[in-house]
């Protein structure tokens, strides 16, 4: 098999969670553009439906599923719908992101638990449900999503968010070790400061000075890591995180 064939994900069945906007939407569209059949999952079903329709209009194949991935029963229902539509799952991109920019002293227990539930528990619930299917079928690639906040403490106070994102990295490694014997790979992608998230922030100039490439990332610059981990080019890769940050951690 040549490299172009190894990198191909054409005809593979994929799901992307929290895919109605932002990075989740970008991942869903990128997989569809590469030829995968994509399930756009989001708790806002109508918004997910619009993305699926957009993919279809551009020549791709997609379905929309409404599900809050922090709720186990909804994830189970999501998996049932996926198996009816696809019959199998090759790729699962588990994306979720909700930042609470508060110091610990300003963070109530309820807010803390909410941040962990949305950013980390939802990853566990969804990965477990997908993993059960992939282990049974004997193959699959799961791609979790973390962020630069899982590596470094932001100057902006956001301890709950940082903790959740760091937890995703270790959850990924733990599940990779558990599921490797079943030919199920789990990796993650961590994004640095992306233009769509930072534009207009008062500290944007300061952040640029800390990035060796001297610019924010573009969402399409996440595509390479995504396709590599989703494809057969990465069949001996599991338990790693690809940090797409413009070199932020070099300094």
The answer, yes or no, to whether residue 199 has pLDDT greater than 70, is no
In a domain, 154, yes or no: yes
In a domain, 251, yes or no: no
Q: Tens digit of pLDDT for each residue in 15-57?
A: 999 999 999 999 999 999 999 999 999 999 999 999 999 999 9
In a domain, 103, yes or no: yes
In a domain, 45, yes or no: yes
What local confidence, expressed as pLDDT, does residue 21 receive?
Answer: 92
**Domain span holding position 167:** 3-193+220-243
In this prediction, residues 232-243 reach a mean pLDDT of: 98
- Which of 27, 70, 165, 193 does the annotation list as catalytic? 165
* Residue 147: active-site member: yes
Confidence band for 196, pLDDT divided at 50, 70 and 90: confident
* Residue 146: active-site member: no
- To the nearest whole percent, how much of the chain has pLDDT over 70? 97
Q: Tens digit of pLDDT for each residue in 62-107?
A: 999 999 999 999 999 999 999 999 999 999 999 998 777 778 888 8
Rg (CA), the chain: 18
In a domain, 137, yes or no: yes
The span from the CA of 110 to the CA of 131, in Å, is: 29
Q: How many domains does the chain have?
A: 1
The answer, yes or no, to whether residue 200 has pLDDT greater than 80, is no
Token reading at 243: 């940090």
Q: Tens digit of pLDDT for each residue in 212-226?
A: 999 999 999 999 999
Q: Is residue 187 within 8 Å of 234, Cβ to Cβ?
A: yes
The answer, yes or no, to whether residue 198 has pLDDT greater than 60, is no
What is residue 87's DSSP assignment?
A: S
* Residue 161: active-site member: yes
- Which of 27, 95, 161, 193 does the annotation list as catalytic? 161
Cα dihedral 205, 197, 172, 93 sign: negative
In a domain, 147, yes or no: yes
pTM for the complete prediction? 0.94
Q: Tens digit of pLDDT for each residue in 161-179?
A: 999 999 999 999 999 999 9
In this prediction, residues 192-202 reach a mean pLDDT of: 72
CATH number at residue 56: 3.40.50.720
- Which of 8, 122, 141, 147 does the annotation list as catalytic? 147
């Amino acid at each position: 098999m040549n490299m172009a064939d190894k990198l191909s994900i054409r005809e593979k069945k994929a799901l992307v969670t929290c895919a109605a906007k932002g990075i989740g939407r970008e991942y869903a569209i990128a997989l569809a553009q590469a030829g995968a059949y994509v399930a756009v999952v989001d708790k806002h079903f109508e918004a997910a439906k619009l993305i699926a329709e957009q993919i279809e209009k551009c020549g791709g194949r997609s379905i929309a599923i409404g599900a809050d991935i922090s709720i186990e029963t909804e994830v189970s229902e999501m998996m049932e719908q996926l198996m009816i539509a696809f019959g199998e799952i090759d790729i699962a991109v588990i994306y979720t992101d909700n930042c609470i920019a508060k110091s610990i002293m300003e963070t109530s227990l309820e807010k803390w638990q909410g941040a962990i539930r949305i950013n980390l528990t939802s990853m566990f619930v969804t990965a477990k449900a997908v993993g059960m299917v992939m282990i049974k079928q004997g193959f699959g690639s799961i791609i979790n999503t973390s962020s630069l906040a899982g590596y470094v403490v932001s100057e902006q106070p956001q301890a709950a968010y940082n903790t959740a994102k760091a937890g995703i990295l270790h959850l990924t490694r733990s599940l990779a070790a558990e599921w490797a014997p079943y030919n199920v790979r789990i990796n993650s992608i961590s994004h640095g400061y992306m233009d769509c998230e930072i534009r207009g922030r008062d500290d944007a100039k300061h952040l640029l000075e800390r990035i060796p490439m001297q610019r924010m990332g573009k969402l399409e610059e996440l595509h390479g890591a995504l396709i590599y981990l989703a494809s057969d080019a990465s069949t001996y890769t599991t338990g790693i995180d690809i940090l797409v940050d413009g070199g932020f951690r070099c300094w």
